[in-house]
Amino acid sequence: MENSEMSAIAQRIVALFVTIKNATFIGVRNYVNEAKEISNYVLIADFLWVKAVETSIAILKSLTDADFTKIAETYKCCNTAGIVYSNRKEGKLYLETGKLPKEGTKARDIVLGSIKTTKTLAEMRDEMIAQFEANLNPQTKSNQSIAQAETYERLYHNGKIVPSIKIHKETKKVYIWAMAHSKRVVVKGEYKDSERNIESEQKFSIEKYCKYILNAELPTTKYRNLVVDADQMSKVVAMGEELTLAE
């Protein structure tokens, strides 16, 4: 993407971030997310993703059977393997009645594709580690990482990646992608309750346990993708400079 294709605001942000050489604190003021929450962030720009992944792996590997028992008790999540379940109403109906749509139909494929089997928390932890380790190897990147790569591109300046800047390939919007150091909510958002599936709840519970019980938050969960837009942030502070996007 050429700089000429960016908004004037995005060009100013990129010009500032080009000067970042190492992990650096930056501030984003009055950021508005999709839930209309307004927050002030302190982020760490140019923090190595590889280092974040390696630290997350080390934390996950330190968990013991006693930790998994406590996670299950604290967050009321599944720690039993072999339970067959489905998150789709069609799949739940099949498990209750044993009846399937006609063979060879898309409806049947959807039902069968929704059937899953639970894992223990230890098995889920091992799966999380395997995904992280695969992402460290370009030859074995996960589907999620591939999807991210296909959605965003990095910006280059003089042959080098501009730190903590991503561009959405389709919308051409510029994002600040950096690790959160702290966040202060100025205005609370309007969040809707959403039901997680069993595996998502297990992963979320493991992450919460590491953060709140062990005081060892996984660095990979701290990354934020903030769109550079005057309607969504008022100021960016970095490298001793303060850029005003909106009053």
DSSP characters for 117-175? E---HHHHHHHHHHHHHHHHSGGG--HHHHHHHHHEEEEEETTEEEEEEEEETTT--EE
* pLDDT tens readout for residues 103-143: 999 999 999 999 999 999 999 999 999 999 988 876 555 55
Query: With 90 as the cut, is the pLDDT of residue 5 above it?
Result: no
Amino acid residing at 22: N
Q: Is 158 exposed, middle or buried (0-12, 13-18, 19+ CB in 10 A)?
A: exposed
Cα–Cα distance, 192 to 115 (Å, whole number) = 26
Q: Which one is predicted more confidently, 20 or 196? A: 20
How many of the other CB atoms lie within 10 Å of CB of 79? 19
User: What is the value of pTM for the model shown?
Assistant: 0.85
Spatial contact of 97 and 182, defined as CB atoms under 8 Å apart = no
pLDDT digits (tens, 9 = 90+) for 153-211: 989 988 889 999 999 999 989 999 999 999 999 999 998 876 789 999 999 999 999 99
Residue 37, SS3?
A: coil
Proportion of the chain above pLDDT 70, given as a percent:
92
